[in-house]
Structure 1
Amino acid sequence: MSHGLYLYGIFPSPGPTGLALEGLDQQPVQTQVIEDFVFLYSEAKQARYLASRRNLLGHEKVLEKAMGEGYRTVLPLRFGLTIQDWQTVNEQLIAPRSAEMKALLARLEGYREVGVKVFWDAEAELQRLMAENATLRAERDRMSGRNLSMDEVVRIGQAIEQAMDARRNAIITAFRNGLSALAIEVVENDNLTEAMVYNAAFLIPWETEVAFSQQVEAIDQQFPDRLKIRYNNFTAPYNFAQLN
């Protein structure tokens, strides 16, 4: 049973041709040309798509494979977007937003999004802090075995928290300053877990990715054995394809 059409992304005309891609529900991916835009879609077999890992990866894989075939400039559409007919797209998207979409596609031409997520082990970092900070270590040792007042507990807790914040900010500053100069635009996102220290997307020229990845590695080496970095060098530009 068909539930309309599932949309993946929008390319500038002439867009992808001859792609042999499988979309969600194992449906063949097709193209639809509307004015100067080419939509990537497949037949929707569900009324509503759950944001499961499998579905999210399936959506992303369609766009990445199209980009990998040389169709690099794309406006990725949000996961789960289905329509009943193309008239809806014409009325709600093309007619009111055509000029804005063309400008956005033109701005993305020749650029790619890469993502950097930085993690640390907070407990291990606290141990390093105590090993390196003689003042805090002496304060902690002086208080061990004593019944502390609330003021003393708060004071030592605040001192440790401030020192940990300083270490975290030093890591953030190193990545921010070291990578932003290589990008034409940066989007810093919220940290997704307690262990995540920095979470950012960078829009960079396609041909400079190798230099960018080398810079990520060089910054990591400034903090030996302290960080885990998740670097995504190939993704649709979700952070930079926002229509206002």
Structure 2
Amino acid sequence: MPFNTAGQNDALSGGIGNAITHIGVNTLVTAPPTDTSPGTGTTAAATEAAGGSYARVAVSWGAPAGGQRSNSGLLTIDVPAGTFGFLTFWTASTGNSGTQYRGWVPINGAVSGFGTVDAADLTANTVTSPAHGLVNTDRVIFLNVLGGTLPGGLVEGAAYYVVGAATDTFQVSLTSGGAAVDLATTQGELYFMKVVPETFGSPGQLTVQAGALVLDGTGV
């Protein structure tokens, strides 16, 4: 059921906005399609950062407005050496036993959108998404739309490299600049999100600016 803006704000005030108290960081490896996102299960699937001074950080949310709610202050997260692709949402400072995990968002994932794969796309191994904003070598993650099935050859939650990018279409590969993934015979719709991994050769800090994390209730 759709809610008006007041209903969306209420949901964020009394629901998920109060439940999420901490932000964590999860890894992204460099061998797609094994770059699996943390997923939507009861526990986070991807490996959380560990070692050094790393710890989840507490997050405070501003008042809901326009059906959205964002973090009210700068977040600084100490991380060990490694490559990180996801910020994760938690209800506690520790634990991943089935009650603490609430979801994830890609790091630097400002570009996202919907795409379709029809008969012509299957032949060309392309995803059609008008003015998608992706360029070759970008990393992109695919998700199902409304519980549907992704086109054959694509793994949900995996991070691929964009190749063959045009204004309204793009292909994906398992390697940067490599051959396009064969989409086989399955047409369908999908949602994509760009992720820009952060790699640290030694311990460092990830920063999240105030207002950069947005809980969006406008889709409900």
Q: Quick check: TM above 0.5?
A: no
More helix by share: 1
Higher relative contact order (CA 8 A, sep 6+): 2
More strand by share: 2
TM-score (norm 2): 0.28
Larger Rg: 1
